[in-house]
Amino acid sequence: MEDMARLALVEQSVRDSDKFSEILYELLRHINSILENPHDYDLRTITGDFLKKCLEYEALNDYLKYVGFQPVADTLTFPKEQSLNKVRIAQVTIERKLCFCYGPLDQSKTSIKSTKSQPQTKKMKLTPANILKTMNPLLLKIQSLFNNMIKYEDEELQDLARRQIPIVTLQLMAIDRVRERQRKIKTGEFKGHDLPFDIALLMELINWFKYKFFSWVDKPPCEGCGGETVFAGTSLLKTETETCNLELYECHKCERETEFPRYNDLRTLLRSRRGRCGEWAGCFTLLSRALGYDTRYVYDVTDHVWCEVYDYDSNKWLHVDPCEAVMDAPLTYSHGWGKKLSYVIGVSRDDLQDITWRYTTNHKEVLKRRNLCDEMELILGIMALREHRQRQVSDARRRYLAKRALEELVQLMVERKPEDKEMHGRITGSKDWREKRGEIGNVKHSHTFEFTQPGNYSIRYYPGTDKYRISGDSGEDELVVGWEAGAYERKGVFRKTELDWRQVYLAREPDTDHGSVSWRLNTNSEHVFKALTVQASTTVFETGHVDWKIKFDEKDAVSAKFSESPTTFNADFTTAVISVELTGGTGDVAWQHAQIFRQSLDAKSSGFEILATVAKKQ
């Protein structure tokens, strides 16, 4: 890694172990100050006597210029127009260098307030804003949520959260993501911008949180026999730190009662590591804040919560749902899950916003559903809460927040169309639980490809665009949009889009051990298929299995081995069903170890192809 090599040159130039350590800690404090106060440009200039004197080392000067610092007078500064991406990578590199050379980080030396040579940055001491003179339940809920965000700023709590995160592992994986994106840009596989390190790290945090750290609970297993339970009622549970709801479940097998506390206390959640969307969003917000991300807790009155994280490179809030492990897919709820959203409110430590419009289209229709509060009363309430909280922050922060809020309002005015990645139903929770909530998505009817005229036909599925193209001798193409729309039967399978790796594929849903999908071709009584050729890309990892079968008319299904090389069947038949089962895999991401039709999002070729010849019956 070039950053480590450049720090090694600085170490060789200094030739004093203690002084090199002091330089690294001073640099780390300065970088931490920039990252924690990106809005305060005065803090970007190196003003401390010690670091300014150390700039005499040419290798240190070169390293800081490589990071993005520029000369100004007799020192260096980090320009306000410069992306913070390299600063975040420098933060990681310096931390790793300190650990490698001097052992575990001395946290007392990394704190911004510990430096004597830089301007002091005052830690915000925020107080609740119980100022709304209203009895409106929605406005009081918003005020309560906004006040609740203060607890996420507790330094001891954030330190406890950081100790749960395998930060070095996630950082290294994030660097791999960044390098892979850079490689693809250089080879022409990807046309776009570099992946910022902090966004790559956020992706790793999301995946680790969902698949390694937190657990989903529809209903808990019986504490006595481990059997299935049924909901029996609710009560209240008082603990040393809170009073929370207590769900009660009964086991029909042993008749034992099992309790499921719905904790809100963040320290308790770091220990229990389980729950539903409320616990997931609350705990993820804490972990995200602990890593320095400007994070929102997002409340939807139709009974879901998630997060948003601010991206300083694109200057916009990114939708993050830790339950679904998805990022930047805000129309998923309205277009994939089928929710009729009306009020979506985002609250952070020092700002709040009505962000309904980012998560919906057809805003005029949405307005008709908004009947919980007068629109002007909602606007005035948000402005009053915002003004009260922002009196407690620095002038620089207040100016920055005002500018950011204005830019966001402009973004929210634009209605956009949903992308393919936003068109699937909810995947977290049992199918029965999701169906009861009406979040399974748009269930499509079985599809059969019908061919009633003699000729040669092709069915090609393109994973990148999620479309089937059906062609025949006539030269006229027919399109079927969505992999499900062309499937005959499907169970426990979804289309996964990996935006970071720019890959797409079909896999089984994360909460299932088995996924299956099939496709059916048919002709009428006057015709017969004479030949059928199938090509399908298959990818397996670890112990994953992809098992193909084909069935002609009323005969038994037989195993088949389909690949990117064509497999041809010469036989007379009127109906064919091609099916595949996805099973196996290892660990928390076992579902990813059996994939079909995997390819680049930019690929022009099909991932699945069926060629068929139809003739008149003799």
The 10s digit of each residue's pLDDT in 294-335 is 999 999 999 999 999 999 889 999 999 999 989 999 999 998
Shared-domain flag, residues 74 and 194 = no
- Which residues of the chain are under the pLDDT cut of 70? 1, 111-124, 442-445, 499-500
pLDDT for 112 equals 54
pLDDT for 39 equals 84
pTM over 0.85? The answer is no
Shared-domain flag, residues 493 and 572 = yes
Residue range of the domain that includes 23: 2-114
pLDDT for 124 equals 64
Q: How far is CA 381 from the centre of its chain?
A: 31
**Rg of the chain on CA atoms, in Å:** 28
Shared-domain flag, residues 44 and 191 = no
Give the whole-angstrom CA distance, residue 45 versus residue 47: 6
3-state secondary structure of 86: helix
Shared-domain flag, residues 162 and 288 = yes
- Evaluate whether residue 344 is within a structural domain: yes
pLDDT for 500 equals 67
- Evaluate whether residue 258 is within a structural domain: no
Shared-domain flag, residues 483 and 379 = no
Shared-domain flag, residues 313 and 388 = yes
Could you tell me the CATH number of the domain that includes residue 158?
Answer: 3.10.620.30
| Domains held by the chain: number | 3
Shared-domain flag, residues 514 and 606 = yes
- Evaluate whether residue 265 is within a structural domain: no
Q: Taking a C-beta distance cutoff of 8 angstroms, is the pair 206, 320 a contact?
A: yes
Could you tell me the CATH number of the domain that includes residue 44?
Answer: 1.20.58.2190
Shared-domain flag, residues 374 and 519 = no
Shared-domain flag, residues 506 and 586 = yes
Cα 6-63-8 angle, rounded to 5 deg: 25
Q: In 3D, which of 433, 420, 464, 217 has the Cα closest to residue 332? A: 420
pLDDT for 115 equals 43
Which pair of tokens denotes residue 204? 């790793």
Q: Taking a C-beta distance cutoff of 8 angstroms, is the pair 549, 516 a contact?
A: no
- Evaluate whether residue 502 is within a structural domain: yes
CA distances from 85 to 7, 184, 190, 443, 501 (A): 18, 19, 20, 42, 19
pLDDT for 111 equals 65
Q: Tell me which residues are annotated as active site.
A: 277, 304, 321
- Evaluate whether residue 347 is within a structural domain: yes
Shared-domain flag, residues 55 and 155 = no
Shared-domain flag, residues 170 and 306 = yes
Shared-domain flag, residues 192 and 341 = yes
